[in-house]
Amino acid sequence: ITPRAQRRLIREVTKDPRTTSKELQASLASIKVSVHDSTIRKRLGKNGLHGRFPRHKPLLSKKNIRARLNFAKKHLNDCQDFWENTLWTDETKLNYNNFAKMSGPKFLQSAVKDSLQVIANA
């Protein structure tokens, strides 16, 4: 792959991060450069542009939608201060899989203890 083609790859990916390696391969084919898609991924990885999955926003369930609608109808005539102090669930930071609880000396100690028992039994 030529340095010019590599610069083109980096420019296209920084402009649109959701571009696939197959689309980049077709783009390079338009300038008469034939490269395998795994080579494209390797070159982008060397330049710090690794593939990532976009984070999915949690969807509201039908139950939550109904509850929010009922709440809004119930408090329809409340003052503006009430609505400014209302915090909706999609405005909060959600902690998935309790990552905050996992870090700390409690988990480190038990992990070390388990590994020492395995070594002692060996």
* pLDDT reported for residue 110: 38
| Same domain assignment for residues 24 and 75 | no
Report the pLDDT value the prediction gives residue 54, as an integer from 0 to 100. 59
From residue 115, give the alpha-carbon distance in Å to each of 26, 93, 103, 112. 50, 35, 18, 5
Q: Are 39 and 71 in contact (CB under 8 A)?
A: no
Q: How far is CA 106 from CA 24, 78, 93, 109, 111, in A?
A: 47, 47, 24, 5, 9
Instruction: Report if residue 56 sits inside a domain.
Output: no
Q: Does 55 fall in a domain? A: no
The residue behind tokens 């197959």 is 22
Do 71 and 96 share a structural domain?
yes
47 within 8 A of 12, measured Cβ to Cβ: no
Total count of domains within the chain = 2
User: pLDDT under 50 in the chain at which residues?
Assistant: 104-122
Tens of pLDDT, residue by residue over 94-104, are 555 555 555 54
- The CA-atom distances, in angstroms, between 28 and each of 39, 40, 52, 53 are 12, 10, 22, 24
Residues 114 and 74 in one domain: yes
Q: Are residues 66 and 117 part of one domain?
A: yes
Expressed as residue numbers, the domain containing 83 is 62-121
Question: Is residue 82 included in any domain, yes or no?
Answer: yes
> Considering the domain boundaries, does residue 35 fall inside one?
yes
State the pLDDT at residue 48.
85
Where do we find the tokens 């690794």?
A: 50
Asked if residue 109 is part of any domain, the answer here is: yes
pLDDT of residue 53: 62
